[in-house]
Chains A and B, each alone.
Chain A
Amino acid sequence: MSTKKVTVRLKVNGKDYVRDVEPRYLLADFLRHELHLTGTHIGCEHGVCGACTVLINGKTGRSCLQFAAALDGAEITTVEGIAGDRPLHPVQEAFHEAHALQCGYCTPGFLMTTIEFLGQNPDPDRDEIRQALTNNMCRCTGYLNIIDAVEDAAKRLREGAREA
């Protein structure tokens, strides 16, 4: 085995990046320490807690279980890419108004899960929301306000889609 670096090209939040990293370098570390996109948090490094969840080619994935090198050419969306410097995304607005975050450490992962989920199921019931949220763990909120927020976000997105 070697610690020889390989070149990785990733499009992250719409921007192209090229970095040389060791093949073992995890996507989470790549985003956080190479690209300084520290909004993606590390919680367990064994794929359970979901804090590091990002969108990889549009799908939620654990960035702690992905090698950056193996994703060469992929498109990644992190929490920083949801709204950028623009006003909050409807999902973020819904989280804010429902008080769906406390410490906020897990929140980026929940936002990613919610965006993917509502893309697939725009009008979910609370049981479906609960099921979708098993993608992530939160220790502060007890989930209830997150469930409310996802319900509200779905409504906002549906209304937004109607208006558009």
Chain B
Amino acid sequence: MKAIEDFTLVGKTILRREDGYLMRGKAQFLDDLPEPKGLIHLAFVLSPYARADILSIDAGAAKALPGVIDVLTGKDFVDDIKLFAPVIEIGGYRPVRRPVVAVDRVNFVGEYVAVILAESPYVAQDALDLVEVSYDPLPSVAGIDEAAAPGAPVLHDHLGDNLIFKTAFETEGFADRFAEGDVVVEEEFRLGRVTGVMIEPRGCMACPDPIATNMTLWTPTQIPHIVRTAIADHLDIAESALRVVTPAVGGGFGTKAHVYPDELIVVALARRLGRAVKWVQDRREELLTNAHAREHVLKIRVAAKNDGEIRAVHLDVRTNCGAYPNHPYSPTLEATAAVRMMPGPYRIRNYKYDVSSVTTNTAPTGAYRGTGQPSAFLAIEGMMDRVGRRLGLDPADVRRRNTIRPEEFPYVNVVGVRYDTGSYLPSLERGLEMIGYDAFRAAQPEDRLVGGKYRGIGICNYTEVSGTGAPGWRVRGFAKMPGFDSSRVVVEPDGKVTVYVSQADAGQGHYTTFAQLAADRLGVDWADVMVVEGDTSKTPYGTGTFASRGSVVGGGTVIRCSEKVGVKVRRIAGYMLNADPERLVMKEGRVFDPASPDRGLTLREVAETAYSMNNLGLPQGEEHGLEATDYYDPPMVTMANGTHVVQVAVDPEDGKVEIERYVVVHDCGRVINPKIVEGQVHGATVQGIGEALMEEIVYDAEGQHLNANLLDYLLPTAMDVPDLELSHIETPSIDTVGGIKGAAEGGLTGAVPALANAVGDALAGLGVNITRVPLRPSYVFEQIRRARAAQEGRT
């Protein structure tokens, strides 16, 4: 392995090669693909009830509609699709399996009840109106508290109650250490339910190969290999006979990193009918049925010394699984992320957690950008402020007191996660300096009221889990999550390079950054490197693009694989030049000894030898071809870090939160392409602003979904976004290949707690306690009004 300082292309902004065809409208997203002859369009009849028995389904009128090919119900799939479930092996998890189309019972609004097969999407929609389903509605339950209460309707009889997952952890002597605190501060935090809302909803198309018995599934997924394995498993198809391809993908954010029932259904139907089958999700279905996330309740108790030192933390996290466990993560994903990430950048040595998840009559929850981390940091960062307020300390000082210092790295945290390098304290200090923290505090009046608005500053100092390897998945029970990603790097006969990666881009810019990495290692022009991914028939197996894996694991394997090929290039070149391969370097498309740079070979000349396109022959024992394959299983996890510092003004007359300043300090280790990293930080931060201030999926108590459209589920617009003051620190990892750490999620993780804390700080003078997101005007106003009434009551 070469020292990372050797990188020449890495760290440079190269404008994306993807942009041209995207901006010309030439990219092919799922519904843009040419439609195969005889294509069948699907539509799903969705359950309007949160919980009901299906008494009968009359599809007669629908089937009679011209253009309708068939209408199928759950029973039509029981023989060819096994009950759907992830494989989770962790103590405290109790498996639940589901039919891909409901049989006899529905458990959430939006669950598939019947499938229309039609000649066109319009006719398919017409048929939906004609299917008559007779339901017997049953008592239902939507909320965490309600589902856990005695006497709650039980979703899955075999569980006996709704508790699908529960586990706990405690360090030795925890109770004694906790008792050492001078003060104990307690709080309960809640996060609303949100989801990815990619501008491209999902969809999928299965196409049987007319010649062979193969099947191709086009699906805009972040995890093509895992989708293939899951389908093969549930449909009894050989993995070798199923090809999963991702077209251009219109945003993923974790929401597209699941296996969904419809992916199994289109393949099963294409196999059964021998025809291509397509389903395109609409926005309503997207909000009703895609994996939701968050809806966490975190009860946290912190024991602190009078100087602000955190002695011990007890965190109790409760999550809402939804009606069924998502595939492949189950509800353990966000739950275990929240409790495992809580220690963050802090020296917390005494820790106890309890974590649980309940099933409810709501859509299954799963992965979404940040996974558990916005929750973890809402809790611990919220406590940093509260400990400060309790002890009369500046909240920044409480953080300083507990933050892991540069000289303590590498550091292994209380749950066994190694922090190899990091800039936890420098990042915090820079963020505070950039926003002018001390001056702000000095000028901030006791009541925080300036110009008729309450003004405050919120901080979130976070760590960001990225690039999880096999051990990181196993410890959380993901028995079938590979952890590695892989690549195949080929120097073609003309000296140009093709890189096949097991990843699946959804806008992250892999086609540029992976080319950058390979070009860097092989000493060629990045424009001469083509990247192929998102196709299980072309790339080796891998885990996929989610959980901030792309640059760490995908990038890592491309670096390693390119270097492997480089070794062979130098071996053959050494033979051709009669030189020591170890002395040869690859630069500007040539291979040469730096001592005699004029006497070198072009990569093409070496490739021609490797491909037997000249008469030079190969050295003894050398095989033809010029390529390598690499499987890279990264460390358990790699921690990036950063700090958000936000200044807000809260208008007491309308409850609106205005972001006045927004500072982000960001450290993702070795940066491959600065502009692309900046884009990840911007995007994640703004999703965080959305989650903190406006986004929320709302169910009523019975599980009726109240806002499955974009008029009622609010995404931030350009007017909601302040100019970010962004600063980078580059602290390369010493554990990962190339020193790379992930960059995709910290923005969201930082934003939610920072904004909550800023509003909390602004309203602290009033005695308002901000413990939940989203902080919509209606909610904030109510808190202010109550606090003011209480104050008036006292005076």
Q: Which residues does A use to contact B, with CB under 8 Å?
A: 22, 24-25, 29, 32, 37-46, 48-49, 51, 78-80, 82-83, 88, 92, 95-97, 99, 101-108, 111, 126, 129-131, 133-134, 137-147
* Complex contact A40–B25 (CB within 8 A): yes
A46-B709 CB under 8 A given contacts A24-B122, A78-B25, A96-B16: yes
Chain A neighbourhood of B724, CB < 8 A: 142, 144
The answer to whether B604 has its CB under 8 Å from any CB of chain A is no
* Complex contact A88–B20 (CB within 8 A): yes
* Complex contact A79–B24 (CB within 8 A): yes
* Complex contact A41–B250 (CB within 8 A): yes
What are 24 sample pairs from A and B whose C-beta atoms fall under 8 A apart? A24-B122, A29-B121, A37-B25, A39-B27, A44-B710, A51-B199, A51-B200, A80-B24, A83-B24, A88-B20, A95-B23, A103-B199, A103-B252, A103-B506, A104-B19, A104-B507, A106-B199, A133-B718, A134-B717, A137-B715, A139-B196, A139-B253, A140-B251, A143-B718
How far, in whole Å, are A72 and B724 apart by their CA atoms in the complex?
A: 45
The answer to whether B678 has its CB under 8 Å from any CB of chain A is yes
Chain B neighbourhood of A126, CB < 8 A: 723
Cβ-closest 6 pairs across A and B: A39-B25, A103-B507, A105-B250, A104-B22, A142-B686, A142-B682
A102-B507 CB under 8 A given contacts A95-B19, A139-B687: yes
A32-B282 CB under 8 A given contacts A96-B23, A103-B506, A142-B682: no
718-748 of chain B: CB within 8 A of chain A: 718-719, 721, 723-724, 747
Cβ-defined partner of A101 (8 Å) among B19, B122, B198, B253: B19
Cβ-defined partner of A103 (8 Å) among B23, B32, B198, B282: B198
The answer to whether B394 has its CB under 8 Å from any CB of chain A is no
How far, in whole Å, are A42 and B684 apart by their CA atoms in the complex?
A: 23
The answer to whether B675 has its CB under 8 Å from any CB of chain A is yes
* Complex contact A45–B26 (CB within 8 A): no
Chain B neighbourhood of A25, CB < 8 A: 122
Please give me the residue from chain B that is nearest to A91 by CB atom. B23
The answer to whether B707 has its CB under 8 Å from any CB of chain A is no
* Complex contact A137–B717 (CB within 8 A): yes
1/0 contact string of B659-685 vs chain A (CB within 8 Å): 000000000000000011011001111
Chain B neighbourhood of A108, CB < 8 A: 23, 25
Q: Would you give the shortest CB distance from B660 to chain A, in whole angstroms?
A: 15
* Complex contact B25–A48 (CB within 8 A): no
507-544 of chain B: CB within 8 A of chain A: 507-509
* Complex contact B282–A79 (CB within 8 A): no
Q: Would you give the shortest CB distance from B24 to chain A, in whole angstroms?
A: 6
* Complex contact B199–A102 (CB within 8 A): no
- What secondary structure prevails in chain B residues at the interface with A? loop
1-45 of chain B: CB within 8 A of chain A: 15-16, 18-20, 22-29, 31-32
* Complex contact B715–A96 (CB within 8 A): no
The answer to whether B711 has its CB under 8 Å from any CB of chain A is yes
The answer to whether B550 has its CB under 8 Å from any CB of chain A is no
Cβ-defined partner of B200 (8 Å) among A41, A144, A145: A41
How far, in whole Å, are A37 and B28 apart by their CA atoms in the complex?
A: 11
How far, in whole Å, are A123 and B682 apart by their CA atoms in the complex?
A: 25
* Complex contact B15–A97 (CB within 8 A): yes
Q: Would you give the shortest CB distance from B149 to chain A, in whole angstroms?
A: 36
How far, in whole Å, are A43 and B79 apart by their CA atoms in the complex?
A: 35
How far, in whole Å, are A51 and B286 apart by their CA atoms in the complex?
A: 16
Please give me the residue from chain B that is nearest to A37 by CB atom. B25
How far, in whole Å, are A97 and B14 apart by their CA atoms in the complex?
A: 9
How far, in whole Å, are A141 and B684 apart by their CA atoms in the complex?
A: 8
Please give me the residue from chain B that is nearest to A51 by CB atom. B199
How far, in whole Å, are A108 and B719 apart by their CA atoms in the complex?
A: 20
The answer to whether B248 has its CB under 8 Å from any CB of chain A is yes
Chain A neighbourhood of B196, CB < 8 A: 139
Chain A neighbourhood of B250, CB < 8 A: 41, 103-106
The answer to whether B249 has its CB under 8 Å from any CB of chain A is yes
How far, in whole Å, are A83 and B22 apart by their CA atoms in the complex?
A: 12
How far, in whole Å, are A39 and B684 apart by their CA atoms in the complex?
A: 26
Cβ-defined partner of A139 (8 Å) among B16, B199, B282, B709: B199
The answer to whether B552 has its CB under 8 Å from any CB of chain A is no
A37, A42, A49, A133 pick with most chain B CB within 10 angstroms: A42
- What secondary structure prevails in chain A residues at the interface with B? loop
Cβ-defined partner of B283 (8 Å) among A43, A106, A138, A141: A43
* Complex contact B26–A39 (CB within 8 A): yes
Tell me the total A-B contact number using a CB cutoff of 8 A: 177
Known: A38-B29, A97-B15, A142-B684. 13 other contacts (CB 8 A): A32-B31, A39-B26, A45-B282, A95-B19, A101-B507, A102-B683, A104-B19, A129-B718, A133-B717, A143-B682, A143-B686, A144-B682, A144-B723
* Complex contact B710–A32 (CB within 8 A): no
A25, A32, A40, A138 pick with most chain B CB within 10 angstroms: A138
How far, in whole Å, are A126 and B719 apart by their CA atoms in the complex?
A: 10
The answer to whether B201 has its CB under 8 Å from any CB of chain A is yes
Please give me the residue from chain A that is nearest to B747 by CB atom. A142
Chain B neighbourhood of A106, CB < 8 A: 199, 250
How far, in whole Å, are A141 and B507 apart by their CA atoms in the complex?
A: 10
How far, in whole Å, are A158 and B734 apart by their CA atoms in the complex?
A: 49
Chain B neighbourhood of A46, CB < 8 A: 283, 709-711
* Complex contact B715–A139 (CB within 8 A): yes
Please give me the residue from chain B that is nearest to A48 by CB atom. B710
How far, in whole Å, are A105 and B682 apart by their CA atoms in the complex?
A: 17
Please give me the residue from chain A that is nearest to B724 by CB atom. A144
1/0 contact string of B191-226 vs chain A (CB within 8 Å): 000001111110000000000000000000000000
Chain B neighbourhood of A37, CB < 8 A: 25
Chain B neighbourhood of A111, CB < 8 A: 23
* Complex contact A104–B27 (CB within 8 A): yes
Chain A neighbourhood of B18, CB < 8 A: 104
* Complex contact A38–B25 (CB within 8 A): yes
Q: Would you give the shortest CB distance from A143 to chain B, in whole angstroms?
A: 4
Chain B neighbourhood of A97, CB < 8 A: 15
Q: Would you give the shortest CB distance from B280 to chain A, in whole angstroms?
A: 8
How far, in whole Å, are A43 and B251 apart by their CA atoms in the complex?
A: 12
* Complex contact A145–B282 (CB within 8 A): no
How far, in whole Å, are A78 and B26 apart by their CA atoms in the complex?
A: 12
Chain A neighbourhood of B747, CB < 8 A: 142
Chain A neighbourhood of B197, CB < 8 A: 139
Q: Would you give the shortest CB distance from B25 to chain A, in whole angstroms?
A: 2
Chain B neighbourhood of A143, CB < 8 A: 682, 686, 716-718, 721
Q: Would you give the shortest CB distance from A3 to chain B, in whole angstroms?
A: 8
A147-B683 CB under 8 A given contacts A32-B31, A38-B25, A96-B20: no
Q: Would you give the shortest CB distance from B505 to chain A, in whole angstroms?
A: 9
* Complex contact A141–B679 (CB within 8 A): yes
* Complex contact A79–B683 (CB within 8 A): no
* Complex contact B683–A48 (CB within 8 A): no
How far, in whole Å, are A140 and B249 apart by their CA atoms in the complex?
A: 12
Please give me the residue from chain A that is nearest to B690 by CB atom. A139
Cβ-defined partner of B31 (8 Å) among A42, A48, A102: A42
Chain B neighbourhood of A45, CB < 8 A: 282-283
A139-B19 CB under 8 A given contacts A102-B507, A102-B679: no
A146-B718 CB under 8 A given contacts A79-B25, A103-B199, A103-B506: yes
A48-B199 CB under 8 A given contacts A134-B719, A146-B718: no
Q: Would you give the shortest CB distance from B506 to chain A, in whole angstroms?
A: 6
* Complex contact A101–B22 (CB within 8 A): yes
Please give me the residue from chain A that is nearest to B676 by CB atom. A99
Chain A neighbourhood of B32, CB < 8 A: 32, 38, 41
Chain A neighbourhood of B718, CB < 8 A: 129-131, 133-134, 143, 146-147
Q: Would you give the shortest CB distance from A152 to chain B, in whole angstroms?
A: 13
How far, in whole Å, are A37 and B31 apart by their CA atoms in the complex?
A: 11
B16, B19, B196 pick with most chain A CB within 10 angstroms: B19
Please give me the residue from chain B that is nearest to A89 by CB atom. B23
Cβ-defined partner of A88 (8 Å) among B23, B122, B283, B506: B23
A79-B23 CB under 8 A given contacts A137-B717, A143-B718, A147-B718: yes
A96-B683 CB under 8 A given contacts A39-B25, A103-B249: no
* Complex contact A22–B122 (CB within 8 A): yes
